[in-house]
């Protein structure tokens, strides 16, 4: 990553390099001093395409939730306030993302479940990843940039 690149730019750069939406967001917003990029890429992989290609929660949102949890999450039984803060920030991300984009559900956002091979081909042909998904990654990154 270029030293002058901010987290939003970094997320978009990772996405244009063909990392999935969850990977792009989580890697750009993770705590770099606690988790290296390769490990972050691996952890976030399964959340792409609506969580394991199921069309569920948008990967950009899932990656953001991981980043919020990494920074504010509950690390021991006594950290009830941390858990509550994490939930509050997670809801804030999800609420604002849905307000901006109409949903937090991948299949609803794209108008199809890209976990189905025929739909994946349609999405690629329609360049949904370069257009719609790019904007969704940008939206999640902008929200996270404020929330974190």
pLDDT tens digits along 45-96: 999 999 999 999 999 999 999 999 999 999 988 888 999 999 999 999 999 9
Residues 6+ apart with CB under 8 A from 12: 24, 134, 137, 138, 141
pLDDT value at 4 more than 70: no
For 86, the token pair is 């994490």
Contacts of 93 (CB under 8 A, 6+ apart): 61, 64, 65, 68, 140, 143, 144, 147
Maximum CA pair distance of the chain? 50
Confidence of residue 3 (pLDDT cuts 50, 70, 90): very low
Give the count of domains, the chain: 1
The verdict on residue 1 lying in a domain is no
Name the band, by pLDDT with cuts 50, 70 and 90, for residue 36.
very high
What token pair was written down for 24?
A: 């792009």
Distance of CA 134 to the CA centre of its chain: 11
Which residue segment(s) compose the domain that 29 sits in?
Answer: 7-147
DSSP state of 105: B
Q: Is there a domain that residue 2 lies in?
A: no
Task: Tell whether pTM > 0.85.
Answer: yes
């Amino acid at each position: 990553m270029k030293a002058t690149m901010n987290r939003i730019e970094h997320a978009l750069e990772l996405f244009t390099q063909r990392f999935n939406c969850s990977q792009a967001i989580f890697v750009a917003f993770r705590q770099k001093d606690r988790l290296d990029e390769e490990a972050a890429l691996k952890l976030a992989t399964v959340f792409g395409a609506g969580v394991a290609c199921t069309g569920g929660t948008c990967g950009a949102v899932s990656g953001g939730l991981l980043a919020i949890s990494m920074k504010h999450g509950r690390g021991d039984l006594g950290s009830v306030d941390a858990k509550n803060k994490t939930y509050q920030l997670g809801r804030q991300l999800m609420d604002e993302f849905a307000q901006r984009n109409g949903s937090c559900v991948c299949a609803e956002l794209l108008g199809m479940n890209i976990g189905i091979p025929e739909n994946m081909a349609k999405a690629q042909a329609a360049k949904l990843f370069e257009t719609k998904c790019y904007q969704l990654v940008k939206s999640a990154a902008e929200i996270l940039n404020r929330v974190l």
